[in-house]
């Protein structure tokens, strides 16, 4: 039976050997903003399992924006180009996932059930700290399996804190330790390549948390496109539009497709041309 309170041994047993393989990296930080990357393990399993790639979360003045590419890879192959990697856990909580895709889906299903079970049994929503701890337990419970090559999930959790009336972003490492980021967070294979760009944008254009939605969204999409240019596993926006969701005091909303298409078109039109010898 699945133990909704512990989220540890029984949950790991539930997942079994069906998840893909990742090798965790330690989180990197820039001025208190935590970013990380996950990479394929060097064994045969990595070639047959599906991995999510790059996800980004940035604050803005009304809450948090999450964006993610749509690509899922298996080894060197593109397995799927319409993956959903930014998922709602409840009305005010989003989880952006990178790493072992099938295991991430199991974690999302478990957390949705755990949050709803708590609300119905206790007649009140689970607290912010309770939600954060529940996800930490699940990740920690999977640590040994991840170290043995079964798979690891590196999530970025975004939520709207109704008491503080602000959006907040939390990052977890492969051991279940959590960090609150100051303004932005990213995970996945493309996050390493764009580390410094976050800091550049914040210094040149001002803090993300002071931007309006469209300004922050444009910067997040630009970061994702740079990641796609520099990381083979991250899908670009030229073929499939990225996923983008906001979370505010009014809850979770999808960014309009027309807005995404317009911003992506503008970003792609300004990409630098390759310069090489003329033939």
Question: Pick from 24, 79, 75, 15: which is nearest to 46 by CA?
Answer: 75
Query: What region, left, alpha or beta, does residue 185 occupy, with left being phi > 0 and alpha being psi -120 to 50 degrees?
Result: beta
Token pair belonging to 80:
């799927």
Distance CA 243, CA 66 (A): 8
Q: Catalytic pick from 21, 53, 73, 181?
A: 53
Q: Three-class SS of residue 183?
A: coil
The answer to whether 25 and 38 have CB atoms below 8 angstroms apart is yes
Token pair belonging to 91:
């009305």
Find all residues with CB under 8 Å of 188, minimum gap 6, and list them.
37, 38, 52, 53, 54, 55, 98, 99, 154, 233, 234
23 labelled catalytic: no
**Active site (catalytic) residues:** 53
């Amino acid at each position: 039976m699945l133990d909704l309170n512990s989220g540890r041994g029984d949950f790991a047993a539930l997942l079994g050997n069906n998840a893909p393989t990742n090798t965790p990296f330690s989180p990197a930080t820039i001025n208190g903003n935590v970013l990380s990357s996950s990479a394929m393990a060097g064994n045969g399993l990595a070639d047959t399992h599906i991995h999510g790639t790059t996800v980004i979360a940035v604050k803005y003045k009304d809450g948090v924006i999450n964006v993610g590419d749509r690509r899922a890879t298996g080894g060197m192959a593109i397995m799927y180009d319409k993956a959903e990697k930014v998922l709602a856990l409840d009305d005010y909580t989003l989880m952006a996932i990178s790493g072992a895709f099938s295991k991430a889906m199991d974690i999302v299903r478990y957390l949705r059930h755990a949050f709803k079970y708590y609300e119905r049994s206790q007649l009140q929503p689970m607290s912010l700290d309770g939600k954060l701890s529940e996800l930490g337990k699940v990740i920690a419970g999977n640590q040994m399996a991840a170290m043995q090559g079964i798979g690891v999930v590196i999530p970025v959790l975004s939520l709207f804190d109704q008491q503080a009336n602000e959006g907040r972003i939390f990052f977890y490492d492969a051991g279940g330790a959590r960090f609150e980021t100051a303004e932005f967070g990213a995970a996945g294979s493309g996050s390493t390549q764009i580390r410094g760009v976050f800091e550049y944008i914040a210094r040149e254009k001002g803090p993300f948390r002071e931007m309006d939605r469209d300004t922050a969204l444009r910067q997040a999409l630009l970061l994702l496109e740079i990641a796609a240019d520099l990381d083979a596993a991250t899908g670009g926006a030229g073929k499939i539009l990225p996923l983008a969701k906001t979370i505010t005091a009014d809850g979770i909303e999808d960014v309009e497709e027309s807005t995404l298409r317009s911003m992506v078109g503008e970003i792609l039109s300004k990409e630098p041309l390759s310069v090489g010898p003329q033939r």
